[in-house]
A and B are shown apart, each in its own frame.
Chain A
Amino acid sequence: MKMSGAEILIDSLKEMGADTIFGYPGGQALPIYDALYDSDINHLLTRHEQGAVHAADGYARASGKVGVCLATSGPGATNLVTGIANAYMDSVPLVAITGQVPTSLLGRDSFQEVDITGITLPITKHNYIVKDIRDLGRIVKEAFYVASTGRPGPVLIDIPKDISAGEMDYHRNGFLDLPGYNPPRKGKEELLNQAFKAIAISQRPVIYAGGGVVSAAAHQELKQLAETLLAPVATTLMGLGGFPEDHPLALGMLGMHGTKYANYAICDCDLLIAVGVRFDDRVTGKVESFAPHAKIIHIDIDPAEMGKNVRVDIPIAGDLKIVLNQLLERLEARLAGAWQDKVATWKKEYPLEFNEKGSGLKPQQIIQEIYRLTEGQARVTTEVGQHQMWAAQYYTYTKPRSFISSGGLGTMGYGFPAALGVQVACPEETVFDIAGDGSIQMNIQELATAVDYQLPVNVAIMNNGYLGMVRQWQEILYNRRYSYSEMKSPDYVKLAEAYGAEGYQITRQDEVAEVLQAAIQSQKPVLMDFVIEREENVLPFVPPGKALNEMLG
């Protein structure tokens, strides 16, 4: 059948099961937009390309499907860059499509030309520029396959205008040409045997679980592993929800702002089973003192993560779900002993806690209230900073894909557009973006998108009039010299109303539950300005470069 490049693109997207695109049109993307006009693909117009890529990312994280975003060439493409880097760092399956100047104008500094494949080389799992319309269908399929298999990640396809506007006789076929792409699946037998031996002689095992558990949908296997070994489970920020936090073996988050008992358990264990993690510096603290007494088994889909940051004794590359099942087949249940008692004592002695007294609202208490009123069933996104850590600490996550946050890149302005993507993926669910007054101002324009598509997300701003985490570091590490971290906000109530959303300002304790309840009930997007204690700190805090047991607070 005679089809244009743009029609082939849309047909291939549908073939790959993509029914939703977040995008923003422009000159070189016009042929694609013209084809979208007749298609039944659900396209959401954001107010900034960064909003589109974060929304696609949120959509992907909530649904487990590949997120798709679309932008024009030049500035449209560069506005995607932060979002692509964000998806790359957190291993989110994403296909980013950009318009490009016609092939005849490439390399001539044409209007709105930018070398986006060059720019995104280090932040994509793979990328393509389509120079021949006959390659287009195959490239789209490869992009989805590469993005969603192995260690997931973003793939960019740059499509020059003469390719999207060109025509060819097209028929679907399943051909992929990826001779160099073979992600590992099963763990090697010899390494599994070493793992069994290490497990058998261990007295104090701990599981350190990350985002890979969520990506691989291996949460059931993880739970089974923990229950079989009676091994306490510490989760990373990305792993929250991968293990139910109300489980007796749950240690909550480890690392820089982890619970004391999680960090103590890591420091004291004699066997660390690291699953779907990458030993980030925010997790390990001082590398030399990380799990100093432990033999380390590392299970991950990406062999390059093994031994990258921390020495590993038993590196098992493979699909987490498959490898955990390989282990579970042969493991026998253990009985509780002194180790489990010791961990239980730590949990009792050093709970997560905050000073409930103070002049302003307590952010921790607000988040606990959100947890209570949503019965732990909300999808929570966050921006980046203090509120993100409080959201990680004080909401109890029990299901995978319920906590959606910018972990690796730490992108302020991520949470709100991501929440829109989450709401699109989960239209019946309650979605909260827990935000700070700094972060929310980075992509506030997406309020228009939220109103436009009637996405009833609830934005809870923890407003302390500071870039709170910057201020906290300045307080502790820079002798209270608050250099450019104090920040004024607009009137969020008026702002919300101007956009056609609902706005509330909350200053008193007794208003918190009432406003939250109203927001949850509302069919509109709601902006809640919680005026919180200005100098509240995130604790515990392991200062950078310190060992995990050298925490403050």
Chain B
Amino acid sequence: MYHTLAVLVENSPGVLARVAGLFSRRGYNIDSLAVGRTDNPTISRMTIVVEGDERVLEQVSKQLHKLVDVIKIGDITAAPHVDRELVLIKVNANANTRGEVMQIAQVFRAAIVDYGHKNLTLECTGNQEKISAFEEALQPFGIKELVRTGKVAMLRGAKYTNITKTKEED
């Protein structure tokens, strides 16, 4: 089963290596990892999607807690949450096919971010199923290049993950 972890870390050099190293060293599988700094410039937030059963997840989260740079971990899989991923796709599009590609973009509410003679670059945001469906729809035209950000996620409603609660109180 896939779990989505929201992890607050100190925005210090080497923190990504520490987290990534921990996963490889202990044999946990990362499906995706997205990281960027938060509204507090000293703190970064990682969204990590990891595969494993309850036992593995418990170990992952306990081992992450042991890293001094990790401030807080929340497993938000079971709670209502919004998750999004962004994809950029460069796809073949000549005079004959361009119209059709643009129609597909419209269906998926994707934006055209670059317009070339032989290709279009499209930007699409959504959950993982939508992104995959979008990719599939463009496949027949010939995808030249594709880049996905990995999932970012946030709890819905009044609940939030921030650093005011210490790790011990989780």
A50-58, A252-260, A299-307, A466-474: which lies at the interface: A299-307
The reply to whether B62 and A303 contact each other, CB–CB distance below 8 Å, is: yes
The reply to whether A180 and B17 contact each other, CB–CB distance below 8 Å, is: no
Main secondary structure of the interface of A (DSSP, over half): loop
Closest to B67 in A: A180
B residues 59-108 near A (Cβ < 8 Å) are: 59, 62-63, 65-72
Is the CB of B152 closer than 8 A to any CB of chain A? Answer: no
Closest to A126 in B: B68
Q: What is the CA–CA distance of A302 and B63 in the complex, to the nearest angstrom?
A: 10
Please name all residues of chain A whose beta carbon is closer than 8 Å to the beta carbon of B55 when the two chains form the complex: 307
The reply to whether A304 and B59 contact each other, CB–CB distance below 8 Å, is: yes
Is the CB of B135 closer than 8 A to any CB of chain A? Answer: no
| Residues A184 and B59 in contact in the complex (CB < 8 Å), given A121-B17, A125-B68, A146-B68 | no
Is the CB of A224 closer than 8 A to any CB of chain B? Answer: no
B residues 1-50 near A (Cβ < 8 Å) are: 9-10, 13-14, 17-18, 21-22, 25
Is the CB of B163 closer than 8 A to any CB of chain A? Answer: yes
Q: What is the CA–CA distance of A125 and B70 in the complex, to the nearest angstrom?
A: 13
The reply to whether B59 and A182 contact each other, CB–CB distance below 8 Å, is: no
Q: What is the CA–CA distance of A356 and B50 in the complex, to the nearest angstrom?
A: 58
Closest to B8 in A: A180
Q: In the complex, which of the residues A118, A146, A182 has the most CB atoms of chain B within 10 Å of its own CB atom?
A: A182
The reply to whether A118 and B17 contact each other, CB–CB distance below 8 Å, is: yes
Is the CB of A372 closer than 8 A to any CB of chain B? Answer: no
Q: What is the CA–CA distance of A302 and B67 in the complex, to the nearest angstrom?
A: 12
Is the CB of B136 closer than 8 A to any CB of chain A? Answer: no
Is the CB of B168 closer than 8 A to any CB of chain A? Answer: yes
Is the CB of A178 closer than 8 A to any CB of chain B? Answer: yes
| Residues A180 and B59 in contact in the complex (CB < 8 Å), given A121-B18, A121-B21 | no
| Residues A184 and B68 in contact in the complex (CB < 8 Å), given A304-B62, A307-B55 | no
The reply to whether A180 and B14 contact each other, CB–CB distance below 8 Å, is: no
The reply to whether B21 and A180 contact each other, CB–CB distance below 8 Å, is: no
Please name all residues of chain A whose beta carbon is closer than 8 Å to the beta carbon of B18 when the two chains form the complex: 121
Is the CB of A122 closer than 8 A to any CB of chain B? Answer: yes
The reply to whether B25 and A122 contact each other, CB–CB distance below 8 Å, is: yes
The reply to whether A304 and B168 contact each other, CB–CB distance below 8 Å, is: no
Q: What is the CA–CA distance of A182 and B167 in the complex, to the nearest angstrom?
A: 7
The reply to whether B25 and A180 contact each other, CB–CB distance below 8 Å, is: no
The reply to whether B71 and A180 contact each other, CB–CB distance below 8 Å, is: yes
Please name all residues of chain A whose beta carbon is closer than 8 Å to the beta carbon of B10 when the two chains form the complex: 179-180
Q: What is the CA–CA distance of A308 and B62 in the complex, to the nearest angstrom?
A: 10
Please name all residues of chain B whose beta carbon is closer than 8 Å to the beta carbon of A125 when the two chains form the complex: 68
Which of these, A131, A180, A306, contacts B68 with CB under 8 Å? A180
Please name all residues of chain B whose beta carbon is closer than 8 Å to the beta carbon of A117 when the two chains form the complex: 14
Is the CB of A181 closer than 8 A to any CB of chain B? Answer: yes
The reply to whether A307 and B14 contact each other, CB–CB distance below 8 Å, is: no
Please name all residues of chain B whose beta carbon is closer than 8 Å to the beta carbon of A118 when the two chains form the complex: 14, 17
Q: What is the CA–CA distance of A131 and B14 in the complex, to the nearest angstrom?
A: 13
The reply to whether B59 and A122 contact each other, CB–CB distance below 8 Å, is: no
The reply to whether A180 and B63 contact each other, CB–CB distance below 8 Å, is: no
Please name all residues of chain A whose beta carbon is closer than 8 Å to the beta carbon of B70 when the two chains form the complex: 180
The reply to whether B63 and A304 contact each other, CB–CB distance below 8 Å, is: yes
Chain A, 124-160, contact with B by CB distance < 8 Å: what is the 0/1 string?
Answer: 0110010100000000000000100000000000000
A residues 154-212 near B (Cβ < 8 Å) are: 178-182, 184
Closest to A185 in B: B168
Besides the known contacts A121-B21, A180-B10, 18 further A-B residue pairs in the complex with CB atoms under 8 A apart: A121-B14, A121-B17, A121-B18, A126-B68, A129-B14, A131-B13, A179-B163, A180-B68, A180-B71, A180-B72, A182-B166, A182-B167, A182-B168, A303-B62, A303-B65, A304-B59, A304-B63, A307-B59
Residues of A participating in the B interface, judged by any CB pair closer than 8 Å = 117-118, 121-122, 125-126, 129, 131, 146, 178-182, 184, 302-304, 306-308
List, sorted by A's number, 27 A–B pairs whose CB atoms are closer than 8 Å: A118-B17, A121-B17, A121-B18, A121-B21, A122-B21, A122-B25, A125-B68, A126-B68, A126-B69, A129-B13, A129-B14, A131-B13, A146-B68, A178-B68, A180-B70, A180-B71, A182-B166, A182-B168, A184-B168, A302-B66, A303-B65, A304-B62, A304-B65, A306-B62, A307-B58, A307-B59, A308-B59
